């Protein structure tokens, strides 16, 4: 009976797979609006117009989302030590590891696999199909379109490699037989092949005389070289990473936006001062859908109509240095009784803390508090919402606050609040909060790659090579000085490693880079195994400052009883199996010989 059921399920899967492959390989211009769902590798892409339309479909597959219109990589961030997601959600179960339970076929994990391969499939169709019209397109146009497709394909593979390890490597549209007989290609083999692709893409962008930024949301030569650097960092090929990033730097076509907050507002992204944003997941401004609901899931519940369920962690808050440039356990200006004061300015630009003002936009006037903007002073210590009265110009104390610590006993709104038993630990996200847009219709893009990442990868690669010179400190300090932090002067390799790793955490918090960093540093298990604690339970009894190890992993043992701990969770990712995510079971079930599951799963 079991064998019969298994065979039936296999037939159902095979039929589904056939339909997917047929559907993806067929020309559907007559059915689909842009972006095209797919292009044919046999009779389409015969001219530049068709090639451009096919490329639009590839970009469409690069728009990775999780439920509730959330950018997928923002969801992935909640599986790391820098964030917490509503208890019991897929992201939370992944983050909890052994104590989740983190099981096979977790929705977050499966969506990452599926969306990456969807992108790869479309890119392969584009690359293969373009051969049909090669003679009908100028060399410049052909080179640029092919370079974009190669870069987007590599983007998909890059994420699969650090999430899952060895994966099937397709460089052409696979047949059903190919899929059912696929084997897992080693990470290093794929990386070396993608090196060549990214070199080819960079050269083709040059042939096309491509602009430094083709358009908001498009990949370019710097993205190709940036992906090459990321792949190199993954396998600890620091020489290749240093060369790739230095090539971008020496081109003198990119720089840092002098305003960090502007990077995360729509107007700032459109202006893209100094071209810091290299690649952006954009949202159309000429139609209502799709929208980016990241902010809706991030702003605190004491703000009208929010749906908060994704929160910064205490770990993230504590990684921001004091204004003296020292980690808080070493800083002379850090005060545990006033933790938001005298800190790296990126803390206030990234995280909403007790006493901070939240500005957000509604779509109608609801006077006296919504005009249509609303201002609320974030408060977790009393059952009061501090709301700005547009009539009087004063803040009023309005009873009823879902985010205060006493709401725990009242069981308000499932406790998905900034302090709830399945909610946050006393903080909310400010990054990407754009008060010029109605939060339910936000069109702010989600940044995939920016120049600050290039600078910090260069600094790290050279540091790991122990080739620490003025260019290393210059790259690192450019990022720090924008934030108002003192320049680093040490050339000690171990000290610089600690600083650079901390710098990456606070610079890119919420941007989906943390899992990649923790995995390649081989510290994911250690960094993501801790009790989920938060801000002071009683502000009159400040918690002790945590201690940190050389990898910036904090220890809260001495202060755990003074902190918010309503979630009563302890993450446990120490087991070796959590070094990689499990393959989706449907991949293993239909091809058990070639698709061996990751160790421990």
pLDDT score at 22: 35
| CATH among 1.25.40.390, 1.10.10.10, 1.20.58.760, 3.40.50.300 for 60-288+432-532+570-601 | 1.25.40.390
Contact 83, 77 (CB under 8 A): yes
Question: What is the average pLDDT across 474-485?
Answer: 98
Indicate the pLDDT class of residue 285, thresholds 50, 70 and 90.
confident
Task: Tokens for 563, please give them.
Answer: 């902190």
Which token pair is 323?
């204004």
For residue 5, how many other CB atoms are within 10 A of its CB? Answer: 9
pTM: 0.93
Residue 12: other Cβ atoms inside 10 A = 10
User: Using CA atoms, how far apart are residues 93 and 316, in angstroms rounded to an integer?
Assistant: 19
Q: Where are the domains of the chain?
A: 60-288+432-532+570-601
Residue with tokens 């924008």: 482
- pLDDT in the model for residue 2: 36
Place of tokens 């605190």: 300
How many of the other CB atoms lie within 10 Å of CB of 4? 8
Q: What are phi and psi of 358, to 5 degrees?
A: -100, 125
Report the SS3 class of residue 570. strand
pLDDT higher than threshold 90 for residue 324: yes
Pair 352, 358: CB distance under 8 Å? yes
pLDDT for the residue 153: 98
Is 459 a residue whose pLDDT tops 90? yes
In angstroms and rounded to an integer, the radius of gyration of the C-alpha atoms of the chain is 24
Residue 205: how many other CB atoms lie within 10 Å: 26
Rounded-to-integer distance, Cα 252 and Cα 444, Å: 27
> What is the bridge-based pairing of β-strands 83-85 and 310-312?
antiparallel
Which pLDDT value is given to residue 37?
Answer: 44
Rounded to whole angstroms, the Cα distance separating 219 from 204 reads: 13
Averaged pLDDT, 550-566: 96
pLDDT tens sequence across 230-245: 999 999 999 999 999 9
Query: What is the spatial distance between Cα 568 and Cα 455, in angstroms, rounded to a whole number?
Result: 39
How many degrees, rounded to 5, is the angle at CA 532 between CA 584 and CA 90?
25
15 has a pLDDT exceeding 80: no
Confidence bin at 28 (pLDDT 50/70/90): very low
Length of the chain: 601
CA dist 475 and 470 (Å) reads 9
Q: State yes or no: pLDDT of 545 exceeds 60.
A: yes
- The rounded distance, in Å, linking the Cα atoms of 453 and 251 is 16
Q: What is the pLDDT of residue 413?
A: 63
Nearby residues of 480 by Cβ (< 8 Å), 6 or more positions away? 325, 486, 487, 488, 503
Q: What is the mean pLDDT of residues 143-157?
A: 98
Phi, psi at 338, each rounded to 5°: -140, 70
| Lookup result for tokens 């990473």 | 241
pLDDT tier, 43 (very low <50, low <70, confident <90, very high otherwise): low
Output the pLDDT for position 307: 86
Asked if pLDDT for residue 158 goes beyond 70, the answer is yes
Mean pLDDT of 582-597: 95
Contact between 362 and 371 under an 8 Å Cβ cutoff? The reply is no
Both structure tokens of 410 = 């009242």
For 244-253, what is each residue's pLDDT tens digit?
999 999 999 9
With CA atoms as reference, report the closest residue to 168 among 516, 588, 601: 588
User: 51-56 long-range CB contacts below 8 Å, 24 or more apart?
Assistant: 51/126, 51/130, 51/133, 51/137, 51/141, 51/142, 51/145, 52/145, 53/29, 54/125, 54/126, 54/129, 54/130, 55/126, 55/145, 55/148, 55/149
438: tokens are 């109605």
Contacts for 329-335: CB closer than 8 Å, 24+ residues apart: 329/545, 329/546, 329/547, 329/548, 334/545
Provide the token pair at 94. Answer: 């992944």
């Amino acid at each position: 009976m079991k064998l019969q059921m298994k065979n039936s399920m296999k037939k159902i899967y095979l039929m589904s797979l056939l339909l997917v492959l047929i559907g993806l390989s067929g020309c559907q211009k007559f059915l689909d609006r842009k972006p095209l769902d797919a292009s044919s590798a046999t009779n389409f892409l015969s001219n530049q117009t068709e090639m451009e339309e096919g490329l639009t479909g590839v970009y469409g597959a690069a728009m990775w989302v999780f439920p509730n219109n959330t950018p997928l990589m923002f969801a992935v961030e909640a599986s790391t030590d820098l964030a917490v997601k509503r208890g019991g959600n897929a992201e939370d179960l992944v983050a909890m590891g052994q104590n989740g339970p983190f099981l096979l076929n977790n929705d977050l994990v499966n969506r990452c696999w599926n969306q990456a391969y969807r992108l790869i499939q479309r890119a392969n169709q584009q690359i293969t199909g373009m051969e049909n019209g090669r003679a009908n397109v100028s060399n410049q146009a052909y080179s640029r379109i092919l370079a974009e497709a190669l870069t987007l394909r590599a983007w998909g593979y890059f994420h699969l490699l650090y999430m899952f390890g060895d994966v099937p490597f397709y460089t052409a549209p696979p047949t059903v037989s190919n899929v059912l007989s696929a084997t897992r290609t080693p990470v290093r083999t794929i990386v070396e092949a993608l090196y060549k692709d990214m070199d080819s893409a960079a050269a083709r962008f040059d042939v096309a005389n491509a602009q430094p930024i083709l358009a908001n949301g498009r990949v370019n030569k710097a993205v190709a070289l940036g992906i090459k650097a990321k792949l190199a960092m993954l396998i600890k090929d620091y020489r290749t990473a240093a060369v790739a990033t230095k090539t971008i730097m020496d081109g003198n076509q990119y720089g840092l936006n002098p305003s960090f907050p502007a990077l995360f507002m729509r107007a700032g992204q459109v202006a893209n001062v100094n071209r810091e944003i290299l690649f952006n997941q954009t949202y159309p401004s000429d139609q209502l859908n799709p929208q980016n609901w990241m902010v809706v899931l991030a702003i605190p519940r004491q703000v009208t109509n929010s749906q908060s369920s994704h929160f910064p962690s205490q770990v993230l808050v504590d990684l921001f240095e004091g204004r003296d440039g020292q980690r808080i356990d070493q800083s002379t200006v850090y005060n545990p009784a006033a933790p938001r004061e005298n800190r790296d300015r990126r803390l206030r630009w990234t995280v909403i803390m007790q006493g901070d003002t939240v500005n957000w936009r509604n779509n109608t006037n609801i006077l006296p508090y919504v005009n249509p903007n609303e201002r609320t002073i974030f408060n977790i210590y009393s059952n009061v919402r501090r709301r700005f009265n547009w009539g009087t110009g004063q803040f009023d104390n309005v009873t009823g606050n879902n985010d205060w610590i006493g709401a725990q006993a009242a069981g308000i709104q499932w406790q998905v609040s900034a302090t709830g038993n399945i909610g946050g630990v006393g903080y909310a996200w400010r990054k990407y909060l754009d008060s010029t847009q109605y939060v339910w219709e936000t069109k702010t893009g989600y940044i995939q790659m920016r120049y600050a990442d290039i600078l910090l990868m260069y600094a790290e690669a050279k540091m790991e090579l122990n080739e620490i010179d003025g260019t290393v400190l210059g790259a690192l300090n450019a990022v720090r000085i924008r934030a108002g932090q003192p320049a680093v002067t040490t050339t000690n390799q171990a000290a610089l490693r600690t600083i650079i790793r901390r710098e990456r955490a606070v610079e890119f918090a919420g941007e989906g880079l943390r899992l990649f960093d923790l995995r390649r540093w081989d510290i994911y298990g250690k960094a993501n195994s801790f009790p989920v604690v938060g801000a002071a339970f009683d502000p009159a009894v400040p918690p002790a400052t945590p201690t940190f190890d050389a990898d910036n992993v904090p220890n809260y043992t001495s202060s755990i009883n003074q902190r918010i701990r309503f979630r009563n969770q302890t993450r446990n990712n120490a087991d070796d199996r959590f070094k990689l995510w499990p393959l989706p079971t449907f991949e293993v079930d239909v091809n058990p010989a070639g698709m061996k599951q990751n160790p421990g799963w």
